[in-house]
Amino acid sequence: MSVPRIPAQRTVVVVGHGMVGHRFVEALRSRDTENQWQIVVLGEEPRAAYDRVALSSYVGVWDPSTLALPGNEYAGDELVDLRLGVRADSIDRGAGKVFTSDGDAIAYDAVVLATGSYAFVPPVPGHDRPECFVYRTIEDLDGIRAAAQGAGPGAVGVVVGGGLLGLEAANALRLMGVTPHVVEFAPRLMPVQVDQGGGAILEKLVTDLGLHVHTGVGTAAIESAEDGAGVRVSLSDESVIDASLVVFSAGIRPRDQLAREAGLEVGARGGVITDLGLTTSDPNIYAIGEVAAVEGTCYGLVAPGYSTAEVVADRLLGGSGEFPGADLSTKLKLLGVDVASFGDAHATSEGALSVVLHDAAKGTYAKLVVSDDASTLLGGVLVGDASQYAALRPLVGRPLPAEPAALISPAGAELGADALPDDAQICSCNNVSKGSICGAIAEGACDVPAIKSCTSAGTSCGGCVPMLKKLLEQSGVAMSTALCEHFEQSRAELFEIVQVTGIRTFSGLIAQYGKGSGCDICKPTVASILASTASEHILDGEQAALQDTNDHFLANLQKNGTYSVVPRMPGGEVTAEQLITIGQIAKEFDLYLKVTGGQRIDMFGARVEQLPLIWQRLVDAGMESGHAYGKSLRTVKSCVGSTWCRYGQQDSVAMAVLLEKRYRGLRSPHKLKLAVSGCARECAEARGKDVGVIATENGWNLYVGGNGGLTPKHAVLLAGDLDDDTLIRYIDRYLMFYIRTADRLQRTAPWQESLDGGIEHVRNVVCQDSLGIAEDLEAAMARHVAGYKDEWAAVLEDPEKLSRFVSFVNAPEEADPTISFDNSGERKVPVLLGIPEIPVTH
């Protein structure tokens, strides 16, 4: 294939189309205003450049397009010839040609080697077995996924390597339903990034999440299992792990074979030797990214790779750019655990001192490395909580604004953006300084997206985004509270608009107060507001089109496209007849049963067309929707209270039933969970709920703002020794105040913390009526209680609503043939057949 060339035009061949190769093309095209260079890009993989750093996010979505880098196909740019699935086989330096796997010979004026690296597989006996994989590309993950599905329930996977990629691979296995074992030869996980103390906390945190960690041992051999299914992995301490698959993630090596065969100078440990201008031993050939050994050193991070790409783009246009050095700082979240390291994290500098805060109870570890006089920051490690990373990393090599211990202590100094000088690097991925960001803000960049567009800060790993927000606040820019691009108002403002105007449709609201046609943010939010302010059915008229997947079918969508059915059991109470009905339904429809943490029974595996048949049986048995699918009240958990328990001080079951029946169907910004304990022994775990009630000798103590999830919060005491009527009145006010003023998908704990005055403000509003709205809040709850009707009962009475419960609109009698289950083990489990999962907001 030949490319038309302008007479004065030169050709550069880019070998490799990964993240760095793509960055080079973007940099050259944006700077080459005179169109001096024709670019030919050879991409060995079958798809254009994608975000390999975010490879783990592919798991569960299984859609490669979600990883695609913006503009990676160079549509409409005649000066970029992208050839996918084409490999560079050799370089004839004398003739000035690159020979490709499809038989072409491309004449070049310059070559840019962006071949990256490959996953290192140690020479362990058995490493080449079909059960062994590496974790490097989308195709690798597809292969691991197929092996995991073939292994079935209870599968075990071994990950060789406990570094960054190893833990990401382990998390991927976990998300695929495989129990991961991580084998790391070093004495701790992530030995390059964290020290011994940080590694200990990290190991505890990931072990609590279900990983099995083996540190200080190597992999000795991989052999066939005795039963022929899977493999036996022998470790150097003579222990054995029976597994279904093995994933090697033991590091990377530069892909320098093409350069070696072309006679270019390579390093003793691999990589193409370059000078600071990224020029190889051939002045017409450059190397960038992981394959480049800049003055003998290879860098395996994307940020220095981007720097090399920028330098070569400058050099090809006559500049004299040089590699500025590499910031090897890292901030990431592994299995929900924050890990960050920056600067001299291991205190190797002469005279370096370490200041450590190790809180085993909270699962956090923070270390600052400082100069011998404790005045200059040299580096640090953060595990469990990396919220200070964005402020601390730019201070490396600079005087500390406060005592080191105060900077990492929860009760210590708050490190603001004003502590950083203008030349401090805020975005290490794209080498953007504080001064550049503040300059963009001064020129009109008034939010984070605008700063990203102007400066590229925050467009790669995103670790600097919190600091971008701080810089906006420091510059006096008011942070936008807009719900989305279609509504300038916040959720709370839209709630008030709906209440005051009486608008009852999304189209009416967006026509008067918004713009455009809406999105998957504002539509469900407005649907929730409409449901919170009236008792109309969520599937009536236009509202039906606003709901997310779960509310659309009044059931929770599961991994394989089936749904779960959860009938309400107020306070955990259920009759024998209702239990028998549930058992009969499960047997007839072949459903998997599980008792939930909210004291009810979940039935898994129902196809969409089966939902009305199942619910008809449940409604006939006197049961209602449990709203497990909605942003609404889920359950009110209770102990047996004074009725049965010898320690009980009040009838917790009766109170739980009363509360659950009162607030059932109440739509809110996020899910709501309540609990009632009959005494201070707290068997219902009320202080872990949004609203928790605990019996006392004199009545009830009311706790609010407890949440589980990623950042658990204990509820705090709102009022004590309340009688029944006062308790219910306060809960009415609290819930309606939350529903009116919280942001989209904001749970009660962060909502309380975000209010000026926090819990004291809530107490004044709810208990003292400081805003004079108590009567209005109580009236709103009374309207909800009076207007409640079971959603599923209403569906069963309405043929139009029933018509939506089909797998195929054009074949309503047909069942979805892609849905299947594995019943070979003790538990029925869904089988995934390669269909992309539909993202659901929980």
Binding site residue list for siroheme: 683
d(CA 298, CA 292): 6
Whether residue 682 contacts residue 649, with contact meaning beta carbons closer than 8 Å, is answered with no
Whether residue 246 contacts residue 160, with contact meaning beta carbons closer than 8 Å, is answered with yes
First and final CA of the chain: distance in angstroms? 50
Q: Identify residue 807 by its one-letter amino acid code.
A: S
List, in sequence order, every residue forming a beta bridge with 298; answer none if it has no partner: 293
Alpha-carbon separation of residue 708 from 207, 292, 681, 783 (angstroms) = 19, 46, 19, 30
Full 3-state SS string of 651-683: CHHHHHHHHHHHHCCCECCCCEEEEEECCCCCC
**Dihedral, 251, 384, 341, 397 alpha carbons, nearest 10:** 180
DSSP 256-279: -HHHHHTT--B-TTSSEEE-TT-B
Sign of CA dihedral 299, 304, 309, 310: negative
Going by DSSP bridges, is the β-strand pair 353-359/337-343 parallel, antiparallel, or unpaired? unpaired
d(CA 181, CA 384): 21
Binding-site residues, please? Answer: 639, 645, 679, 683
> In this structure, how many other beta carbons lie within 10 angstroms of the beta carbon of residue 444?
8
Q: With left for phi above 0 and alpha for psi between -120 and 50, is residue 153 left, alpha or beta?
A: beta
Binding-site residues for [4Fe-4S] cluster, please? Answer: 639, 645, 679, 683
Cα-atom radius of gyration of the chain, to the nearest Å?
30
List, in sequence order, every residue forming a beta bridge with 380; answer none if it has no partner: 342, 368
Whether residue 397 contacts residue 349, with contact meaning beta carbons closer than 8 Å, is answered with no
CA 126 to chain centre: 35
Residues 6+ apart with CB under 8 A from 8: 36
Going by DSSP bridges, is the β-strand pair 272-274/292-294 parallel, antiparallel, or unpaired? parallel
Element housing 99 (H / E): strand 97-100
Interhelix angle 522-532/491-501, rounded to 10 degrees, is 50
List, in sequence order, every residue forming a beta bridge with 224; answer none if it has no partner: 231
d(CA 798, CA 804): 11
Residues 6+ apart with CB under 8 A from 657: 570, 571, 573, 636, 638
List, in sequence order, every residue forming a beta bridge with 253; answer none if it has no partner: 118
d(CA 400, CA 25): 40
Alpha helices in 692-757 (DSSP H): 724-741, 748-754
Taking 3-state DSSP, the helix, strand and coil percentages for the chain, each rounded to the nearest 5, stand at 35, 25, 45
241-244: which pairs have CB atoms within 8 A and are 24 or more residues apart? 241/156, 241/158, 241/181, 242/156, 243/131, 243/155, 243/156, 243/157, 243/158, 243/181, 244/131, 244/147, 244/148, 244/150, 244/151, 244/155, 244/156, 244/157, 244/178
